[in-house]
Amino acid sequence: MLKTNISCWMILADKRFQSPSWIKRGICWSVFLVFICNGCKDSQPEKFDFQQIGTTMGTTFSVKIPVLPDKVDRKDLKEGIAQILDGINRKMSTYLSDSELSRFNQNQSVDWISVSPEMLEVVVEAQQISHLSNGAYDITIGPLVNLWGFGPSDTGQKVPDALSIDELLQQTGSKFLEFRREPHALRKKMASLYLDLSSLAKGYAVDRVAAYLESLGIKDFLVEIGGELKANGRKQDGQFWRVAVEKPDPAQRSIGQVLELNNIAVATSGDYRNFFDQDGQRYSHTIDPRTGKPITHRLASVTVLSNTTMRADGLATAFMVLGHEAGMRMAERERIPVLFIIQTDQGFSKIQSSQFPSDTK
């Protein structure tokens, strides 16, 4: 049995209120993940040979390396990580008016627009997830999220009129976006189309930092940005990394599921902390791009495992929109490891796809 002590937890998420353009992410927010110090003593956090903690993309990040190779310079490593994160932020932030993404959104042309390989990679992944989910995932949904008051624009949270929803539905949709691999370019079929990559960019940044560490010969590490993380190798004690998914209860924090990670990425999204009530009805921040309205099903959180954090990040969002029934059909069809936590009248229940590891605690 895995023994845990709350004093040994390290909260990896709950970092959502620094920059609304990144964290009010349009469709789903990351739920809390905690890193469990396996075997640590009371109130003594696990030690790492190298640890870098900072802020990026409106949230926090951490890079933890149990043992740093002698040939790797600590200062150079920190600067390299910072440069990667800053570069991605400058390309994909909707908060920075001069970012590559912001310039694309501001461009009213319907001609091909040259973009960086990094931005193209993220958009291609988004389009693939949109196709897999039959439109439940859509990076053009930003205007509808703003309309409901959950976006970066401080418009106030209220139920919009049906006409406004219908008008914006006509102006959104991944079908209005095309990509070209050679040369790298994107094209809007509608000049007003607006992209928001925040549901993928944090995961993409985790993957880029992880790849950088591997290029330096670093095999054991945990990289996390805003709750999306990738774990490689083992800790100092030879054990694999372990994280706990929080039970989706807004009243208290407790462990819902413990995962042992072996060279895998994980992303968790939920629907129980960001909502508003109007006339006795609760409205979720999770907007279904197919209807332009908040979801109404009872899926509380979803955790996805994948080879890349970017894909896990985007899929978690898609599953939150689909709900556990349609989501499970997609997960089994595509062989995706996913865990659903569902709100019932009796409390929470869990179901998982056949690909999700059965030996979690």
Taking only the tens place, the pLDDT of each residue in 196-226 is 998 999 999 999 999 999 999 999 999 999 8
Question: CA dist 164 to 33, 157, 322, Å?
Answer: 36, 14, 23
Instruction: Pull the structure tokens for residue 52.
Output: 């870098």
Name the DSSP letter for residue 8: G
CA distance 301 to 246: 9
Q: What is the percent of the chain with per-residue pLDDT over 90, rounded to a whole number?
A: 60
The answer to whether 274 and 300 are in contact (CB under 8 A) is no
Overall fold of domain 100-198: T-fold (1.10.3980)
CA distances, 319 to each of 121, 201, 286 (Å): 21, 18, 11
**Rg, C-alpha atoms of the chain:** 20
pLDDT in tens, 3-26: 222 222 333 333 332 333 333 333
Q: How many CB atoms lie within 10 A of CB 117?
A: 9
pTM of the entire structure?
0.86
Of residues 101 and 360, more confidence is placed in 101
